[in-house]
Chains A and B, each alone.
Chain A
Amino acid sequence: MHLDDEKIKSLEGIANNIRQNIITMLLEAKSGHSAGPLGMADVFTILYHTDAIKHDPKNPEWEERDRIILSNGHICPVLYAAMASAGYFPIEELKSLRKFGARLQGHPHRLVLSGLETSSGPLGSGLSQAAGMAYGLRMDKKKNQVVCLMGDGELDCGQIWEAAMWAGKNKLDNLTAIIDRNNIQIDGFTEDIMPLEPLDEKFISFGWHVIEINGNDICAVYDALQQARAVFEKPVCIIAYTIPGKGVDFMENDFNWHGKPPNGEEGKEALKQLRTLGGKIESEAQ
């Protein structure tokens, strides 16, 4: 199945909304990460707002659901915004991000927010958990897919490669890893901090099927997930090239925006850019 023009337009609107909510949440929280969540808004739109992934916001424990594991927990504003817009919890609750007593912890915590498959934050362990789930589901002869979202910076962690080796060995074709290839991490550009290239060849040599896409192209993300379901005998790695800070010009491609929130003025400007689609339309009212 392909997305038709009407659906694409609607999904782009949802992605834009998610980006606006990310900015609003960060403004309210006064701490958190900006660039990664904005860059991944299109991927999360596909995950939570199309039939690419089986899930039910009204029944988060649904046994037939696919599993979405966020390994780089620090980009949780995009996860929370996507979950809220899909109906897991009220949009209003997004403003509680990082506040005392909130279900929206600074890094996701499975035991307080239903719909989360795991708690995450310490980098490098999501792929192992996803691989464990995929293996367990296969033992039970279940068809559910497991999708693990990772940052590119966390590929510095040795555990990722332990998991990659193990998933390749076990031919986990129900496992799909999506790498947010935005080339930045806290200290700078990934290739300066710890070179990852040739990233595709690394995963291929570990026994994975690799798909490279523009991670800010909604159709490409959708098609890649469809393709991933059709791959047998191998886990799939989707390298999603994204623009960190996507949609807010002064945040785009600047690693300084990896780990900080906008201040009041920056937030206002960011929201203005998102609401006017970068100046393409005049009115901020949508």
Chain B
Amino acid sequence: MSNLNKSLKLNPRLFAADIEQLPTRFGYGEGLVIAGREDPNIVALCADLTDSTKTSAFKKEFPDRFVEVGIGEQNMASLASGLAAIGKIPFISSYAMFSPGRNWEQVRTTICYNNQNVKIAGAHSGVSVGPDGATHQAIEDMAITRVIPNLVVIAPCDAIEAKKATIAAAKYKGPVYIRFTREKTPVMTTEETPFEIGKAEICREGGDVSIIACGPLLYEALKAAEELSKEGIEAEVINNHTIKPLDTQAILKSIKKTGCVVTIEEHQAAGGMGSAISEFLSQNHAAPMEIIGINDRFGESGEPNELLKVFNLTSENIIDRAKKAIKRK
């Protein structure tokens, strides 16, 4: 634990067997209410998934600022663009597969090309959605959003960070996409942990390999680093919650120090966070790189932890790939 970055004030019970667990979408629900209290222009739209996207708390406190759209995600995105044109700050919520999945063109043209101040909350990202199966597991959402100009893309690591990201998105002027997950995951950060859009945080310092994660898989990265440390390998672990704009300065600084990098995300390996980092490094500071993600497959039904193992989104795989990256230096 000695290499953990103390200034981040991470959860002191980070590696306790019974670390508190919460779904990141809970943080969204809470953050939306807090943002709503601070700014009367915030309105929430939902496409018939109010409870599971946790928009329900906002609906309860601000019934006049809650808009039920029904199962029409394309309409929802463009309605939000129109509301933003009048000065509202709309948050649109659904499963990521449908928003920004099904309504991608409306997000691109009516929200982002217009540069309207709309926030897109995509719940149920990743294979850890579990039993619902591939149809509802969004593992392409970061790829399709990060290629849209003006759009900020955030993948919070836990419920507390999700809350902060939601509040920060409300204050940020311009379109933002935030992805959330369905299942309970370890709460790694605390209320005191800093969060700023576009600023990656070094959770653990090390000089042998950089491990860059986004979303709840940051926990696997931290566990892997502890294990590697026992073998004398010191990994630097970065919470790269903002996929766009990428904190290229922090990434470059770390990789100049460590000389190699492993990335992990609950997303297709193609087009996601690893891709974004690879695009940057290949043109600025090429270094051996291992990208852990889902390799051109659809998800399937199963228990969340079972699926994470099947898809090799585990600390064990991070350890193997870190060693591989170090060998390739």
Say if the beta carbon of A278 comes within 8 Å of chain B: no
Say if the beta carbon of A87 comes within 8 Å of chain B: no
| CA of A47 to CA of B124, assembled, Å | 45
Say if the beta carbon of A132 comes within 8 Å of chain B: yes
- How many chain A residues have a CB neighbour from B under 8 Å? 31
Q: A136 and B85 in contact (CB under 8 A), knowing A122-B109, A125-B110?
A: yes
| CA of A123 to CA of B113, assembled, Å | 15
- Contact surface of B with A, Cβ cutoff 8 Å: 43, 64-65, 67, 69-70, 72, 74-75, 77-88, 90, 105-106, 109-110, 113-115
> Which 10 pairs between the two chains have the least Cβ-Cβ distance?
A132-B82, A136-B86, A128-B78, A162-B75, A162-B72, A132-B79, A129-B82, A133-B82, A132-B83, A159-B74
- Closest Cβ of chain B: how far from A148's Cβ, in Å? 10
Determine which residue in B43, B65, B86 has the highest number of CB atoms from chain A within 10 A of its CB, and name it.
B86
Say if the beta carbon of A7 comes within 8 Å of chain B: no
Q: A129 and B78 in contact (CB under 8 A), knowing A136-B83, A166-B69?
A: yes
Residues of B within 8 A of A139 (CB): 43, 64-65, 86, 88
- Closest Cβ of chain A: how far from B281's Cβ, in Å? 32
Residues of B within 8 A of A129 (CB): 78-79, 81-82, 85, 110
Residues of A within 8 A of B64 (CB): 139
User: Is there an interface contact between B78 and A163, defined as CB atoms closer than 8 Å?
Assistant: yes
User: Known contacts A118-B85, A132-B82; can you find 14 more A-B pairs with CB under 8 A?
Assistant: A119-B109, A119-B110, A119-B114, A125-B105, A125-B109, A129-B81, A132-B85, A134-B82, A135-B82, A136-B82, A159-B74, A163-B75, A165-B70, A165-B72
User: B-side binding surface: helix, strand, loop or mixed?
Assistant: helix
User: Is there an interface contact between B85 and A133, defined as CB atoms closer than 8 Å?
Assistant: yes
Q: Which of B72, B84, B109 is within 8 Å of A166, CB to CB?
A: B72
| CA of A111 to CA of B87, assembled, Å | 16
Residues of A within 8 A of B113 (CB): 109, 111, 119
User: Is there an interface contact between A135 and B83, defined as CB atoms closer than 8 Å?
Assistant: yes
User: Is there an interface contact between B114 and A111, defined as CB atoms closer than 8 Å?
Assistant: yes
| CA of A126 to CA of B79, assembled, Å | 9
| CA of A128 to CA of B103, assembled, Å | 13
Query: Considering only CB atoms, which chain B residue lies closest to A135 in the complex?
Result: B83
User: Is there an interface contact between A132 and B81, defined as CB atoms closer than 8 Å?
Assistant: yes
Q: 21 interchain pairs (CB within 8 A)?
A: A109-B113, A119-B109, A119-B113, A122-B105, A125-B78, A128-B75, A128-B78, A128-B82, A128-B110, A129-B78, A132-B78, A132-B79, A132-B86, A137-B86, A139-B86, A158-B74, A159-B78, A162-B70, A162-B74, A163-B79, A166-B72
